[in-house]
Protein backbone atom coordinates (compact mmCIF):
# COMPACT_ATOMS: atom_id res chain seq x y z
CA UNK A 1 0.00 0.00 0.00
CA UNK A 2 2.83 2.41 0.80
CA UNK A 3 4.45 1.58 -2.57
CA UNK A 4 1.16 2.36 -4.32
CA UNK A 5 0.96 5.73 -2.59
CA UNK A 6 4.57 6.54 -3.52
CA UNK A 7 4.09 5.45 -7.14
CA UNK A 8 0.94 7.54 -7.50
CA UNK A 9 2.72 10.55 -6.05
CA UNK A 10 5.74 10.23 -8.35
CA UNK A 11 3.48 10.05 -11.43
CA UNK A 12 1.86 13.40 -10.68
CA UNK A 13 4.40 15.74 -12.28
CA UNK A 14 3.95 18.20 -15.18
CA UNK A 15 7.12 20.25 -14.76
CA UNK A 16 8.97 18.73 -17.75
CA UNK A 17 5.99 19.15 -20.10
CA UNK A 18 5.47 22.74 -18.95
CA UNK A 19 9.16 23.50 -19.52
CA UNK A 20 8.99 22.02 -23.04
CA UNK A 21 5.94 24.15 -23.83
CA UNK A 22 7.67 27.29 -22.59
CA UNK A 23 10.72 26.49 -24.73
CA UNK A 24 8.53 25.82 -27.80
CA UNK A 25 6.67 29.09 -27.32
CA UNK A 26 9.95 30.98 -27.01
CA UNK A 27 11.19 29.38 -30.25
CA UNK A 28 7.91 30.25 -32.00
CA UNK A 29 8.17 33.83 -30.83
CA UNK A 30 11.72 34.05 -32.18
CA UNK A 31 10.64 32.51 -35.49
CA UNK A 32 7.79 35.02 -35.83
CA UNK A 33 10.20 37.87 -35.20
CA UNK A 34 12.50 36.43 -37.90
CA UNK A 35 9.59 36.44 -40.39
CA UNK A 36 8.85 40.09 -39.63
CA UNK A 37 12.52 40.99 -40.12
CA UNK A 38 12.73 39.03 -43.41
CA UNK A 39 9.61 40.76 -44.71
CA UNK A 40 11.10 44.16 -43.91
CA UNK A 41 14.36 43.22 -45.65
CA UNK A 42 12.49 42.01 -48.73
CA UNK A 43 10.39 45.17 -48.91
CA UNK A 44 13.52 47.31 -48.82
CA UNK A 45 15.25 45.17 -51.47
CA UNK A 46 12.15 45.34 -53.72
CA UNK A 47 11.98 49.12 -53.37
CA UNK A 48 15.71 49.40 -54.14
CA UNK A 49 15.30 47.21 -57.24
CA UNK A 50 12.50 49.41 -58.59
CA UNK A 51 14.61 52.50 -58.05
CA UNK A 52 17.71 50.88 -59.63
CA UNK A 53 15.70 49.92 -62.73
CA UNK A 54 14.77 53.57 -63.29
CA UNK A 55 18.38 54.59 -62.84
CA UNK A 56 19.58 51.80 -65.14
CA UNK A 57 17.18 52.94 -67.86
CA UNK A 58 18.72 56.39 -67.64
CA UNK A 59 22.23 54.86 -67.75
CA UNK A 60 22.96 56.33 -64.29
CA UNK A 61 24.05 52.97 -62.84
CA UNK A 62 25.72 50.00 -64.40
CA UNK A 63 24.10 46.67 -65.26
CA UNK A 64 26.18 45.06 -62.48
CA UNK A 65 24.57 47.29 -59.86
CA UNK A 66 21.14 46.39 -61.22
CA UNK A 67 22.04 42.69 -60.99
CA UNK A 68 23.13 43.16 -57.38
CA UNK A 69 19.78 44.76 -56.58
CA UNK A 70 17.98 41.84 -58.23
CA UNK A 71 20.12 39.38 -56.22
CA UNK A 72 19.17 41.18 -53.02
CA UNK A 73 15.48 40.73 -53.84
CA UNK A 74 15.92 37.03 -54.69
CA UNK A 75 17.97 36.46 -51.55
CA UNK A 76 15.40 38.32 -49.44
CA UNK A 77 12.58 36.20 -50.86
CA UNK A 78 14.49 33.00 -50.10
CA UNK A 79 15.19 34.21 -46.57
CA UNK A 80 11.51 35.03 -46.08
CA UNK A 81 10.42 31.60 -47.35
CA UNK A 82 12.86 29.92 -44.95
CA UNK A 83 11.71 32.07 -42.01
CA UNK A 84 8.08 31.20 -42.72
CA UNK A 85 8.89 27.47 -42.82
CA UNK A 86 10.75 27.75 -39.53
CA UNK A 87 7.83 29.68 -38.00
CA UNK A 88 5.39 27.01 -39.15
CA UNK A 89 7.61 24.28 -37.66
CA UNK A 90 7.86 26.22 -34.39
CA UNK A 91 4.08 26.63 -34.27
CA UNK A 92 3.72 22.89 -34.82
CA UNK A 93 6.11 22.26 -31.92
CA UNK A 94 3.99 24.54 -29.74
CA UNK A 95 0.90 22.49 -30.60
CA UNK A 96 2.72 19.25 -29.82
CA UNK A 97 3.99 20.66 -26.51
CA UNK A 98 0.49 21.82 -25.58
CA UNK A 99 -0.82 18.32 -26.30
CA UNK A 100 1.95 16.81 -24.14
CA UNK A 101 1.11 19.20 -21.30
CA UNK A 102 -2.58 18.33 -21.56
CA UNK A 103 -1.70 14.62 -21.46
CA UNK A 104 0.59 15.21 -18.48
CA UNK A 105 -2.17 17.14 -16.69
CA UNK A 106 -4.54 14.24 -17.30
CA UNK A 107 -1.96 11.84 -15.90
CA UNK A 108 -1.56 14.09 -12.87
CA UNK A 109 -5.32 14.08 -12.26
CA UNK A 110 -5.40 10.30 -12.65
CA UNK A 111 -2.37 9.87 -10.39
CA UNK A 112 -3.89 12.17 -7.78
CA UNK A 113 -7.07 10.10 -7.76
CA UNK A 114 -5.00 6.90 -7.54
CA UNK A 115 -2.95 8.38 -4.70
CA UNK A 116 -6.09 9.29 -2.77
CA UNK A 117 -7.50 5.80 -3.29
CA UNK A 118 -4.20 4.22 -2.22
CA UNK A 119 -4.08 6.50 0.82
CA UNK A 120 -7.58 5.42 1.82
CA UNK A 121 -6.60 1.77 1.46
CA UNK A 122 -3.41 2.40 3.44
CA UNK A 123 -5.34 4.18 6.18
CA UNK A 124 -7.73 1.24 6.35
CA UNK A 125 -4.75 -1.12 6.67
CA UNK A 126 -3.30 0.76 9.66
CA UNK A 127 -4.81 0.16 13.09
CA UNK A 128 -4.28 3.00 15.55
CA UNK A 129 -4.14 2.35 19.27
CA UNK A 130 -6.49 4.49 21.37
CA UNK A 131 -3.57 5.62 23.52
CA UNK A 132 0.22 5.68 23.63
CA UNK A 133 1.87 2.96 25.64
CA UNK A 134 3.73 -0.34 25.73
CA UNK A 135 2.34 -3.59 24.34
CA UNK A 136 1.94 -5.87 27.33
CA UNK A 137 0.14 -8.76 25.64
CA UNK A 138 -0.38 -9.61 21.98
CA UNK A 139 -3.19 -11.91 20.93
CA UNK A 140 -2.68 -11.71 17.14
CA UNK A 141 0.28 -12.64 14.97
CA UNK A 142 1.51 -11.14 11.70
CA UNK A 143 -0.47 -12.50 8.76
CA UNK A 144 -3.43 -13.58 10.86
CA UNK A 145 -6.96 -12.75 9.70
CA UNK A 146 -8.68 -10.53 12.25
CA UNK A 147 -12.32 -9.59 12.65
CA UNK A 148 -13.95 -6.26 13.53
CA UNK A 149 -14.03 -5.79 17.28
CA UNK A 150 -11.37 -8.44 17.93
CA UNK A 151 -8.87 -7.56 20.64
CA UNK A 152 -5.37 -7.62 19.17
CA UNK A 153 -3.24 -6.59 22.11
CA UNK A 154 -3.19 -5.11 25.59
CA UNK A 155 -1.48 -1.74 25.98
CA UNK A 156 -0.10 -0.29 29.17
CA UNK A 157 -0.15 3.54 29.10
CA UNK A 158 3.22 5.16 29.69
CA UNK A 159 1.98 8.51 30.91
CA UNK A 160 -1.39 7.81 32.59
CA UNK A 161 -0.56 5.39 35.38
CA UNK A 162 -2.99 4.74 38.22
CA UNK A 163 -3.34 2.61 41.32
CA UNK A 164 -6.58 0.89 42.27
CA UNK A 165 -6.88 1.07 46.05
CA UNK A 166 -9.54 -1.25 47.47
CA UNK A 167 -10.53 0.68 50.58
CA UNK A 168 -12.90 -0.53 53.24
CA UNK A 169 -16.28 1.12 53.11
CA UNK A 170 -15.63 2.40 56.64
CA UNK A 171 -12.60 4.33 55.36
CA UNK A 172 -14.43 6.36 52.71
CA UNK A 173 -16.16 8.98 54.86
CA UNK A 174 -13.67 11.76 54.11
CA UNK A 175 -12.16 10.50 50.85
CA UNK A 176 -12.87 12.85 47.97
CA UNK A 177 -11.57 13.19 44.40
CA UNK A 178 -8.54 15.44 44.44
CA UNK A 179 -7.16 14.22 47.78
CA UNK A 180 -3.38 13.89 47.73
CA UNK A 181 -2.02 10.37 48.00
CA UNK A 182 1.34 8.90 48.98
CA UNK A 183 2.11 5.55 47.36
CA UNK A 184 4.63 2.92 48.42
CA UNK A 185 5.30 -0.02 46.11
CA UNK A 186 6.64 -3.32 47.42
CA UNK A 187 9.04 -3.56 44.46
CA UNK A 188 10.85 -0.34 45.48
CA UNK A 189 11.31 -0.25 49.26
CA UNK A 190 11.85 3.26 50.56
CA UNK A 191 10.68 4.94 47.33
CA UNK A 192 7.53 7.03 47.63
CA UNK A 193 5.30 8.08 44.75
CA UNK A 194 2.70 10.81 44.80
CA UNK A 195 -0.74 11.02 43.26
CA UNK A 196 -4.32 12.21 43.65
CA UNK A 197 -7.65 10.50 44.11
CA UNK A 198 -9.23 10.48 40.67
CA UNK A 199 -12.53 8.71 41.32
CA UNK A 200 -14.43 6.40 43.63
CA UNK A 201 -16.25 3.39 42.23
CA UNK A 202 -20.07 3.71 42.27
CA UNK A 203 -20.33 0.20 43.74
CA UNK A 204 -18.33 -2.21 45.85
CA UNK A 205 -15.95 -4.69 44.34
CA UNK A 206 -18.33 -7.54 45.18
CA UNK A 207 -21.00 -6.08 42.89
CA UNK A 208 -18.64 -6.39 39.91
CA UNK A 209 -17.41 -9.88 40.81
CA UNK A 210 -17.91 -12.76 38.39
CA UNK A 211 -20.38 -14.32 40.87
CA UNK A 212 -21.78 -11.46 42.97
CA UNK A 213 -23.33 -12.48 46.30
CA UNK A 214 -27.10 -12.91 46.37
CA UNK A 215 -28.64 -12.10 49.76
CA UNK A 216 -32.25 -12.24 48.58
CA UNK A 217 -32.80 -15.65 50.27
CA UNK A 218 -32.11 -14.22 53.71
CA UNK A 219 -28.74 -15.92 54.15
CA UNK A 220 -26.91 -12.73 55.03
CA UNK A 221 -23.58 -12.41 56.79
CA UNK A 222 -22.41 -8.87 57.33
CA UNK A 223 -18.95 -8.36 55.84
CA UNK A 224 -17.13 -5.08 55.48
CA UNK A 225 -17.13 -4.36 51.77
CA UNK A 226 -14.33 -2.78 49.81
CA UNK A 227 -14.75 0.01 47.27
CA UNK A 228 -12.24 0.49 44.44
CA UNK A 229 -10.69 3.97 44.53
CA UNK A 230 -8.73 5.05 41.50
CA UNK A 231 -5.56 7.01 42.29
CA UNK A 232 -3.86 8.82 39.41
CA UNK A 233 -0.08 8.71 39.84
CA UNK A 234 1.80 11.95 39.27
CA UNK A 235 3.58 11.53 35.90
CA UNK A 236 6.62 13.46 37.17
CA UNK A 237 8.16 10.42 38.86
CA UNK A 238 11.63 8.88 38.89
CA UNK A 239 11.92 7.04 35.53
CA UNK A 240 14.32 4.54 37.09
CA UNK A 241 11.41 3.11 39.11
CA UNK A 242 8.74 2.28 36.53
CA UNK A 243 5.33 1.16 37.76
CA UNK A 244 3.96 -1.95 36.08
CA UNK A 245 0.49 -3.49 36.10
CA UNK A 246 -0.15 -5.92 38.93
CA UNK A 247 2.38 -4.50 41.39
CA UNK A 248 1.36 -4.42 45.05
CA UNK A 249 1.19 -1.01 46.68
CA UNK A 250 0.16 0.67 49.92
CA UNK A 251 -1.54 4.07 49.70
CA UNK A 252 -1.90 6.79 52.29
CA UNK A 253 -4.63 9.33 51.51
CA UNK A 254 -4.49 12.80 53.02
CA UNK A 255 -8.10 13.79 53.59
CA UNK A 256 -7.49 17.14 55.29
Q: Domain spanning 160-254: which superfamily?
A: Efflux pump adaptor protein, beta barrel domain (2.40.30.170)
Q: How many CA atoms lie less than 13 Å away from 117 in the CB half-sphere? A: 9
pLDDT at 122 over 80: no
What mean pLDDT value characterizes the chain? 84
> Would the pTM count as exceeding 0.85?
no
Render pLDDT for 142-153 as a digit per residue (tens, 0 to 9): 888 888 888 888
pLDDT at res. 209 = 62
Render pLDDT for 170-201 as a digit per residue (tens, 0 to 9): 898 899 999 999 999 999 999 999 999 999 98
Using 50, 70 and 90 to split pLDDT, how confident is the model at 1? very low
pLDDT at res. 14 = 66
- Phi/psi class of residue 90: alpha, beta or left (left: φ > 0; alpha: ψ in -120 to 50)? alpha
Domain ranges of the chain: 2-125, 129-157, 160-254
pLDDT at 246 over 60: yes
3-state helix, strand and coil shares in percent for the chain, rounded to the nearest 5: 50, 20, 35
- Phi/psi of residue 69, nearest 5 degrees: -65, -40
Q: How many CB atoms lie within 10 A of CB 165?
A: 23
Lowest mean pLDDT among 28-42, 107-121, 123-137, 213-227: 213-227
Report the C-alpha gap between 181 and 169 in whole angstroms.
18
pLDDT at res. 221 = 64
Amino acid sequence: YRAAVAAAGSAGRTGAAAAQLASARASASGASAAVVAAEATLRKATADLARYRVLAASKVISAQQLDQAQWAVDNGQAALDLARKQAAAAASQVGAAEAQLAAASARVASADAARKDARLVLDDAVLLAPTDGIVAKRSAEAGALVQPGQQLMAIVPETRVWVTANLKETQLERVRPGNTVEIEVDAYPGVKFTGRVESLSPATGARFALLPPDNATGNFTKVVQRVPVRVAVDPRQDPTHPLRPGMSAVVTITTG
